[in-house]
Structure 1
Amino acid sequence: MQALRGGAAGEGAAEAGSVPFLKGSALLLLGCLLARCCGAAGGGPRPGGVRAAGAAGSRRSALETFYARQLRLSPHVLGHSKAHVGRVVAELVRAAKAQGLQPGPLALSLRGDFVRIGSAYEQHKVRSPDCFDILVPLRLPPHLEPQPRRADGLGPHGAFVCGLRARAGWPRRYRPFAEGFCVELQGRSHLSSGLVLRWFQGHLQRCLGAVRYRLQERCRISLSACPGRLPTLHILPCSDYVCCHISMSVRLIPAIPLGDALYLTALPPEGPQAPPAPEALWGLNASRQEQRLLSWLKEQAPASSCHLKCLQILKGLRDLRRQGLEEPFCSQWGQVLSSYVLKTALFSLLLQGPLDAWDERFLVERLEDLVLYLRDCLRKQVLMHFFLGNASLPEAVALPRFLKEAAPVNLLAAFDGPTLDLAAFQLINTWFQAPHIIRMYSSPRYLRPALTPCRHVAEARQEPLGE
């Protein structure tokens, strides 16, 4: 009826009726907004919040699946591998020490022990327990003193280098040793890492025969040694001895003890095509201090802390992203974001905030913090070595005086600005596109191979999933 009256009233009446219509529409819109706000205030979900929560849940699901299927190691298999490596290396070191014993200070010899280092022994190794690093300490004659050389501008950038210089008045009876293992630098004799490495390789090769015979029922072993490269021990367990049939490679690293669980090791080449590092210089290895810090963090952090899991996932994403990069940046990507750089960034971030924030339920947030922190370091072109000259370490992690007094070293000093900027861009892009990159670059060749069941499977199933 109202519509009929409005139609009969003509144009003027219709124009006058438009005002109440607009007011009614405005009131209706305002009512809808108030209802939505009241619903949100009362705990009702908001459309935007639902989408954000769904995206976060999808990201976490992708990362958890990636970790479980491609990165996480079975504690059972890792434990078997480490035990087998330890037995084989102990046999080789024992034989090498016995054959190297000579009276007098005129030759090198092994100290008789070995030091397990690297991710396999720090609980953040990924994919497969098939590669291990072992330090083999050597005995040296007296009258060799460490001499840090970073201030002289020698050696590669981003590395702490040190010389082992003969003291003044080197006795004549040490001359055969000096002629066999030393080189001249600035008019003084310095222990040559190249000559020591060459002796170490030959010495192990000579001892391998006897060790291979004693271990023939357990495994087949061989040693590969290229000039200027660390010797690698290859172990293939026999099927009737070890239940987890994984061929393993062990890098044997000759190490010069400095005391306080510090060692000097030969500097690796800066790249596949780079010339060898100066023979008179050695690199510093503080792996034992890193292990002590990780042990302290394990005690202080929640039992369900995800800091090592974050490191493993970031290493896995780095490796996947490399598949889509072209040279020369593909090689630079792995060098800039080396496992040591990622671990150093994690250490620095862990000590900046409360360790309770690293509980497992905050995995995605903490992983994003780590990515952003590392992104900022790359943009600023600065990531300092964690132990050299670091005065902010917890008192519970006691450092040797040699480390406390050492000059700080920037781990990113070897790379130019454009390379680091590109790495920062690719890193943040990798994080934003993580689920897509996992789907795109994951393939069966990255998956852990199925292991042969053994009598320890029941024990393995009872072990906790976290490492």
Structure 2
Amino acid sequence: MQAGIFKVCLVVITAIVNHPLLFPNNDSATDDLIIQKLKEREENLKLQQLELEQLLSHREPPREEEAEPENQPAGDESLWDFWSVMSMIVFLMIEVWRQDFLDNTSQEPSKEEDDLLFTGSSCHGIPFPSKTMLAIFHDQYIRTTTNDAARTKEFVEGFADDLLEALRSVCNRDADMEVEDSICVGSMYENWRVNKPLICDLLVPFAPPEPYYFRCQPWVSSKSIASHQQNFRSILVCGPEDASGCVCDRKKLGEDMLCLLHNPSSKKKVPKDVNLLCSKDSNYLDTDQVMKWFQTAITKAWGRISHKYEFELTFSHLDSPGALRVKFKSGKVISFNISPVVQYEDSDLYFISQFPGKNSSDELSSSIQWNLSFAVYERRFLKDVAKHLPGNSCHLSCLQIMTFLHSKQCQITGPRGLTSYHLKTVLLHLLLTRPYDDWNNIMLEDRLRDMFKSLEKCLLEKKLHHFMIGNSKLPDTVSLPEHFRTAEPLNLFRSFVLNRDLYQKTLTMFYEMIKNATVVINEYSFHIPVGPSIKN
């Protein structure tokens, strides 16, 4: 009897050990295979049960002196029934547990499985528009838009100069901020903007009245800039009580000696009632205060020159410092951004309260944080690299087509974590890695596919490095300050690591954008026969 009980227990243990839930194999089995294995195990159990019965039936009869009471056989049968019932209960519990577990795992996939859903997708096998269709689309749609951009830039630059001159005339030079000439930056002046409305971006440096001055401070005191705050800094408003750094402030030069830089007899008196636009209870420049000051100054300046023009000027976004909108009597509308900025030392870096078309509250946690703009250096790089590229280069055409497809996809699925600045950054990196001759216009399709592949790789890795910060491959002609070149690289896709839902939506939108590329380009081409699609 003990041997029988031992075999029954051995059967139960064997079934548990071999169960696919508790000890799963590396290879996933189908439902039919699992059912077949369960049937085989059932047959094995039946055979083992028959062997146990035969073993019990062929047992030698006990001796008379060792004979058991008459009720012992009934006890053996009841004990056998007890172990049989226990075995069935164990099997049933395991089976119910397995079904519940499979249902839960099918409804709640793990994070790793979410990522694997997209690694199977790839832009390599997705059809792209043919070379002929791309060339037709570029000539008939993008080139026409570029011609409109030239006229828009000419009007905006002339009007902005007139508006800023009027702004200076209405400001108190002794108590108000001093405004410099505007600087043209962005996609319109880099000649790749194609999405409408065509919007010009201009930077307007400003500074406090003498003897006050701005001092830009990093958020970290060390020489290396923190990876998560390399684009943010604070701006300290310094007054005449702060040491100027000249020797005459620290030493007595004598009665017969004068400092040629700081003549005490010509020192300017500190103006009264100066609005330094600082945050409350601090000496740091406040973005909200700057926005209110600049909008008020623009309104006064327009009131002085409005009689010269036959159009209306309004603010298109009240939460942006200088987002302006011109509306002519004919109904035509031209929009542009004039953003007040602070120059960083003697460089072409500028601190801006808010990038045009972007909500600053999504990134900045404090009103004394300022974004760092590399727009001047990026425009300079594109201008310098164009000197080495073929005369009919396709690098800007690739960026134009890619941003066009991205904008149309955003209209369908809504905006996600991908922006036109990310697309531009991908192009800038490719311009450094590919030979100049590869950017000939006849290779437009190949370079466009390279951009999509590179962007896909960055999305899957959740890593896209800023082109300027920490890029040791930058040419010397860019003249970027050295401590930004040697800083730790800045990951522009860091938000995807922190926000998983945004990442999944952005990946979905990216692959849908590629799939819809051929259809969208065909719709915006003027009834030209569609050429065959090319696949890898």
TM-score (norm 2): 0.61
Q: Using a 3 Å threshold, how does the CA distance of structure 1 residues 387 and 138 change in structure 2: closer, same or farther?
A: same
State the alpha-carbon separation in 2 of the partners of residues 96 and 319 from structure 1: 35
Q: Secondary structure at the match of 1:124?
A: coil
Which residue matches 1:345?
Answer: 426
Please give the alpha-carbon distance, in whole angstroms, between the structure 1 residues aligned to 2:363 and 2:350.
Answer: 23
**Farther-moved stretch of structure 1 (222-231 vs 309-318):** 222-231
Computed over aligned residues only, the root mean square deviation of the Cα atoms, in angstroms, reads 3.4
Q: How does 1:315-354 map to 2 (within 5 A)?
A: 315-325=403-413, 330-332=414-416, 336-354=417-435
* Alignment partner of 1:230 is 2:321: yes
SS at match of 2:433: coil
1:149 and 2:240 matched = no
Q: How does 1:357-376 map to 2 (within 5 A)?
A: 357-376=438-457
Deviation at residue 263 of structure 1 after TM alignment: 1.0
Deviation at 1:356, TM superposition (A): 0.7
d(CA) in 2 for partners of 1:359, 1:324: 33
SS at 2:217's partner residue?
A: strand
What is the rounded CA distance, in whole Å, between the counterparts of 1:64 and 1:159 in structure 2? 40
CA distance in 2: counterparts of 1:377 and 1:189, whole angstroms: 40
Which SS does the other structure have where 1:233 is aligned?
A: strand
3-state SS of 1:324 partner: helix
1:123 aligns with 2:194: no
The reply on whether 1:107 has 2:176 as its aligned counterpart is yes
Structure 1 residues 434-456: Cα deviation after superposition (integer angstroms, max 9, x where no partner): 2134457x599xxxxxxxxxxxx
Q: Which amino acid aligns with 2:179?
A: L
Distance 2:319 2:491 in 1: 26
Partners of 1:263 and 1:167 lie apart in 2 by 18
C-alpha offsets along residues 264-308 of structure 1, whole Å, 9 cap, x if unaligned? 110359659859752101111111111110111110111111010
**Deviations, residues 171-214 of structure 1 (Å, cap 9, x unaligned):** 6958954x751126xx8521111101110000110111122112
Give the superposition deviation at 1:62.
3.3
Q: In 2, are the aligned partners of 1:150 and 1:161 still within 8 Å (CA)?
A: no
Q: What code does the residue aligned with 2:415 have?
A: S
Say if 1:406 and 1:195 are closer, same or farther in 2 by CA, change over 3 A. farther
Cα distance, 1:124 vs structure 2: 0.1
Amino acid at match of 1:67: H
Q: Distance in 2 between matches of 1:204 and 1:347?
A: 35
**Conserved 8 A contact 1:267-1:283:** yes
* In the alignment, structure 1 residue 291 sits paired with structure 2 residue 379: yes
CA gap 1:285/1:73 in 2 versus in 1, 3 angstroms: farther
User: How many angstroms does 1:86 deviate by?
Assistant: 1.2
Structure 1 window deviating more from structure 2 (376-385 vs 428-437): it is 428-437
Q: Which residues in structure 2 correspond to 1:251-330 (within 5 Å)?
A: 251-258=337-344, 259-267=346-354, 271=359, 277-325=365-413, 330=414
Q: How far apart are the structure 1 equivalents of 2:296 and 2:186?
A: 25
Residue type at the aligned position of 1:299: K
> Does the 8 Å CA contact 1:389/1:404 hold for their aligned counterparts?
yes
1:206 is the counterpart of 2:300: yes
Q: What is the CA distance between 1:75 and its match in structure 2?
A: 4.9
When residues 270 and 127 of structure 1 are mapped into structure 2, their CA distance, relative to the original with a 3 A threshold, is closer
Q: Deviations over 1:37-58 (max 9, x none)?
A: xxxxxxxxxxxxxxxxxx9895
Q: Measure how far apart 1:120 and its partner are.
A: 0.9
5+ residue gaps, structure 1, are: 1-54, 240-244, 445-467
1:75 and 1:275 map into 2 onto residues whose CA distance is 32
Q: Distance in 2 between matches of 1:410 and 1:175?
A: 45
Between the aligned partners of 1:194 and 1:443, the Cα distance in structure 2 is 45
| 2:333 is the counterpart of 1:247 | yes
- Residue of structure 2 equivalent to 1:451: none
Sort the Cα spacing of 1:163 and 1:405 in 2 relative to 1 into closer, same or farther, 3 A: farther
Deviation at 1:69, TM superposition (A): 3.8
1:413 to 457, 471, 494: 494
In 2, the alpha carbon distance for the partners of 1:158 and 1:380 equals 21
The 1-side partners of 2:490 and 2:445 are apart by 31
What residue is the counterpart of 2:150 in the other structure? 79
**CA distance in 2: counterparts of 1:167 and 1:139, whole angstroms:** 11
| 2-structure distance, mates of 1:96, 1:150 | 36
Partner of 2:200 in structure 1? 132
- Unaligned 5+ segments in structure 2 are 1-125, 243-268, 527-536
* 1:117–1:134 contact (8 Å) kept in structure 2: yes
Question: What SS does the corresponding residue of 1:182 show, helix, strand or coil?
Answer: coil
Change (3 A) 1:300 1:168: same
Q: C-alpha separation between the residues in 1 aligned to 2:509 and 2:392?
A: 30
Task: Give me the whole-angstrom Cα distance separating, in 1, the residues matched to 2:147 and 2:447.
Answer: 28
Q: 2:513 matched to which residue of 1?
A: 430
- Label 1:421 to 1:380 Cα distance change in 2 as closer, same or farther (>3 A): farther
> What's the secondary structure of 2:303's corresponding residue?
helix
Question: Structure 1 residues 322, 159: CA separation in 2 closer, same or farther (over 3 Å shift)?
Answer: farther
Q: How big is each residue's C-alpha offset from its partner over 1:356-386, in whole Å with a ceiling of 9 and x where there is no partner? A: 1111111111111100101111111111111
Residues 307 and 275 (structure 1 numbering): CA distance in 2 closer, same or farther, change over 3 Å? closer
Q: Which amino acid aligns with 1:321?
A: Q
Contact 1:307 1:358 in 2 (8 A): yes
Preserved CA contact (<8 Å) 2:195 2:407: no
Kept in 2: contact 1:71–1:316 (CA 8 A): no
Q: Is the 8 A contact 1:221 1:233 kept in 2?
A: no
Deviation, structure 1 residue 423: 2.5
The number of aligned residues is 367
Give how far 1:233 is off. 2.4
Percent identity over paired residues = 24
Letter in 1 for 2:291: L
1:201 maps to a residue whose letter is Q
Q: Deviations over 1:121-150 (max 9, x none)?
A: 111010456321111111225443111227
Distance 1:318 1:342, change over 3 A: same
DSSP 3-state at the match of 2:478: coil
Pairing of 1:38-49 with structure 2 (within 5 A): none
1:191 counterpart SS class: coil
User: Helix, strand or coil for the counterpart of 1:197?
Assistant: helix
Displacement after TM superposition at 1:100 (Å): 1.4
* One-letter code aligned to 2:397: K
TM-score of the pair, normalised by structure 1:
0.70
1:197 aligns to what? 291
